[in-house]
């Protein structure tokens, strides 16, 4: 009995060994090993495109937003400089007219006073002459201040507006414009001639101020053209 058991055990071991060998001989499934350098394009290209989009999109959004803001700021600065120029133009026209009229009246009353025999203290012409003289001096100071502000505005215009030969030429004409003045009447004029001199001088003041104003007008017209583009 023991011999039979032993023989049966040996047979069973051989049978199990044959079954294992048969299983090992069966075709095993292939395993695909993914090597980084050999990843198919269909897999990595969409991933890279997505990554670039995530990085570049916020930058482009910021850049175009910043560019639009800078363009808007530049346009606002040009508009502000243009508005300042218009204000300086109107103010200077008024100041020049008032100052030249004051000088004319001073010369007129001074000539009448001299015609009457000299500087008589308390006379009408003497007192009026002094009043107009002081007024002309005050207005001259205001004109000098306005010129300083005007030149500062011209500097801003040159900075904010695109450079061009035309812009430089127009601003230079203002920089180098002549200081307006009134010529004294001749000392040997009669009372009627002095009055006529005053009326003619008033007309010339209007012409001189209009001519000066046109120099600034030319720049204004040019700036309006640039702003409208």
Q: What angle do CA 174, 179, 185 make, to 5 degrees?
A: 150
Backbone angles phi, psi at 88, to 5 degrees: -60, -40
Asked if the structure places residue 97 within a domain, the reply is: yes
* Residue 49 within a domain: no
Helix 124-160 / helix 41-115 crossing angle, nearest 10 deg:
170
Q: Which residues touch 38 (CB under 8 Å, ≥6 apart)?
A: none
Residue 194 lies in a domain: yes
- Residue 154 in any domain: the answer is yes
Rounded to the nearest angstrom, the gap between the alpha carbon of residue 163 and the centroid of all alpha carbons in its chain is: 12
| pLDDT in 10s for each residue of the chain, 229 residues | 444 444 444 444 444 544 444 444 455 555 444 545 556 655 556 655 565 655 655 545 545 444 545 555 888 999 999 999 999 999 999 999 999 999 999 999 999 988 877 666 778 999 999 999 999 999 999 999 999 999 999 999 999 999 999 999 999 999 999 999 999 999 889 999 999 999 999 999 999 999 999 999 999 999 999 999 8
Domain containing 143 equals 77-228
Q: How many domains does the chain have?
A: 1
Distance CA 200, CA 196 (A): 6
- pTM for the predicted model, two decimal places: 0.68
């Amino acid at each position: 009995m023991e011999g039979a058991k032993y023989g049966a055990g040996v047979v069973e071991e051989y049978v199990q060994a044959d079954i294992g060998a048969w299983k090992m001989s069966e075709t095993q499934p292939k395993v695909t090993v993914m090597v980084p350098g050999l990843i198919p394009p269909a897999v990595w290209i969409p991933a890279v495109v997505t990554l670039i989009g995530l990085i570049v999109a916020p930058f482009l959004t910021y850049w175009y937003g910043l560019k639009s803001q800078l363009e808007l700021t530049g346009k606002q600065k040009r508009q502000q400089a243009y508005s300042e120029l218009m204000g300086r133009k109107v103010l200077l026209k008024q100041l020049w007219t008032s100052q030249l009229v004051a000088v004319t009246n001073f010369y007129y009353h001074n000539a009448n006073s001299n015609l009457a025999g000299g500087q008589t203290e308390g006379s009408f012409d003497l007192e009026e002459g002094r009043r107009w003289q002081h007024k002309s001096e005050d207005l001259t100071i205001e004109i000098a201040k306005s010129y300083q502000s005007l030149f500062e505005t011209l500097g801003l215009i040159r900075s904010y507006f695109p450079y061009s030969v035309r812009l430089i030429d127009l601003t230079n004409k203002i920089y180098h414009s002549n200081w307006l003045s009134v010529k004294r009447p001749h000392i040997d004029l009669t009372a009627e001639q002095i009055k006529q001199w005053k009326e003619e001088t008033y007309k010339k003041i209007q012409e001189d101020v209009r001519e000066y104003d046109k120099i600034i007008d030319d720049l204004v017209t040019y700036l309006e053209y640039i702003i409208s583009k």
